Chain A
Amino acid sequence: MLAVEIEHLNVYIRHAHILKNVTLRIPKNTVFVIMGPSGSGKTTLLKVINRLIDFTEGVRVEGVVRVLDIDALKADPYELRKRIGMVFQTPNPFPHLTIYENVAIAAKLNGVARSKRELDEIVRWALEKAMLWDEVKHRLHAYPHQLSGGQRQRLCLARALAMKPEILLLDEPTANIDPINARKLEEAIVSLKDEVTVVMVTHSPHQAARVADYIAVLYDGRVVEQGPAQQLFLRPSTEITQKLLRGEM
């Protein structure tokens, strides 16, 4: 069963060719890690999956993208996005909403909770899953600017989880988090596998080794290699993968 199936995807932004003939298969209920140097197109690829790419000016997307068995490029992007959560590279909690509201709004927009009690439960569940609950349970009504960068990022993860998505897109979710909390988050990500398919961008080979079931390597807009994580670590078939997995790139 595939969560995402991409064939011959080409993305152009104005005259720049950003993603080049990308073909990817992301199986359901796995952690799929995308690696690649800065500027290789990782974020762009994630944004194609949930059609956030639509908001980029001058963009042209060609190819086939099947997400959860629907044709993502032809589907109603708003309906599609309701099934996909995303955590962005830079933490972006809503500054005018409290911690509680930031999580609750995602549940509300997607009709996940039917009562105030259910909403409270979902908010708590999401914050616990994102390893943030213990740090904020006594100040749910504080505003996110009082949180650290790492806490903000986990708040964004909680917000994405509160949608009860089927796919979770994580763009370097641990970039601003200390190693201990990053570890916790990794555990959380792995434990989510039963419920969602996780597509995650990371720069850290160690992190990839700990969480990835599959790895795809992007280089200059192309997929240079993809496959089961172990296989890539043991027998990388390209020099780029080798360097990347050794942390030399």
Chain B
Amino acid sequence: MRLSKKDKLFLLSLLPLATSVLALLILIIFAILLRSLQAINKFGLELLVSSVWSPEQEIYGVLAPLIGSLATSVIATLTALILSIPLAIAASEYLKGFIKNVFSSLIELAGGMPTIIYAVWASEYLVPFLKTYVMEPLHRLLPFIPLFSCKPITGFSIFAAGVAIGISVVPYVTALILESYNSIPAMYKEACYGIGAYRHEAVSILLSLSRPAIVASLLLGFARALGETTIAVTTVGSSMYLSSCLFAPGYTVAALIATQFANANLYMYAESVLYTAALIVTVIATILSFYGSVIMVRWRSRIVV
């Protein structure tokens, strides 16, 4: 790509903004790191291999919330994958005119809704529903699989939190997939129909063409799910007990911070431990977002010849 002098000037004028955003990110991570040092020096790896939250005795271990964050985000991403692709395809291929506009506005609306609404809805309706129609049947049918090995007691669990968070990131992931799907140059659509593809065949070719963009969208969705707090607090069950079973209550880092931060300054290390956990999650989320964006950009440059 050749840039004119004006373009270069324009890009140059954006440079301070771009660098300051990057600087801010680094600054935030650095600030969190500073606050974590106290706990890291005191407890070291111990923090990452045990699951205890007992500030009165100053004993901490955030393994369970860390695993919980990752597990809920994986489930959330799978949920988003299952729901977002059909939504995106419906919006871009199968709906027309007025209905299409209503449908797109609804997705946008859902994306703009405050997460507290998802949180309340999920704990009131989604969790009981999942318990009766998903978790219990799975446990009955496949109890020998460790992930499904426990009977859901209340329903509030890693699994429920994952699905609930997943539903809340669906609008975001759908928008990302839709945007990339719609940005596929018309010539590839013509290529599909030009070789005699039926509509569903063309859609499947174009979807596989956009696979890197879908992966990138899911990585960005995963990063967002990692940080989701309100929904996690109301659905995850708040238990520091580490279980291999998805139907048992658990914790996520975001939920731990949300519920413990207010009182943390009463204790010596509690606050610093929370910062340590936050640091790990922030770093993971940042790396995934960055990687997702890189894949997206590379994909775009590949399909436009």
A binding-site residues for B, Cβ under 8 Å: 50, 52, 55, 78, 81-86, 88, 90-96, 105-106, 109-110, 145, 156, 159-160, 163
Contact = CB atoms under 8 A, between A and B. Distances in A.
Interface in B224-275: none
Contact of B195 (A91, A109, A145): A109
Given A92-B188, A95-B303, A85 B201 contact: no
Contacts of B188: 92, 94
B158 to A, nearest CB: 35
Q: Is the interface of B mostly helix, strand, loop or mixed?
A: helix
A51 to B, nearest CB: 8
Contacts of B187: 88, 90, 92
Nearest to B198: A78
Nearest to A162: B195
Contacts of A92: 185, 187-188, 190-191
A161 B45 CA distance: 63
B194 interface: yes
Given A94-B209, A96-B208, A96-B211, A88 B196 contact: no
Interface of B: 185-191, 193-199, 201, 205, 208-209, 211, 302-303, 305
A66 to B, nearest CB: 19
Nearest to A77: B193
Nearest to B210: A96
A109 B209 contact: no
B11 to A, nearest CB: 26
Given A78-B199, A92-B187, A105-B205, A52 B194 contact: yes
Given A78-B198, A95-B305, A159-B195, 4 more contacts: A85-B194, A91-B305, A96-B209, A145-B305
A204 to B, nearest CB: 23
A163 B186 CA distance: 21
A109 B201 contact: yes
A110 B302 contact: no
A84 B197 CA distance: 12
B195 A106 contact: yes
Nearest to A80: B196
A82 B209 contact: no
B303 A160 contact: no
Given A95-B302, A96-B208, A96-B211, A52 B199 contact: no
Contacts of A93: 191
B194 A88 contact: yes
Contacts of A105: 195, 205
Contacts of A110: 195-196
Given A78-B196, A163-B196, A88 B208 contact: no
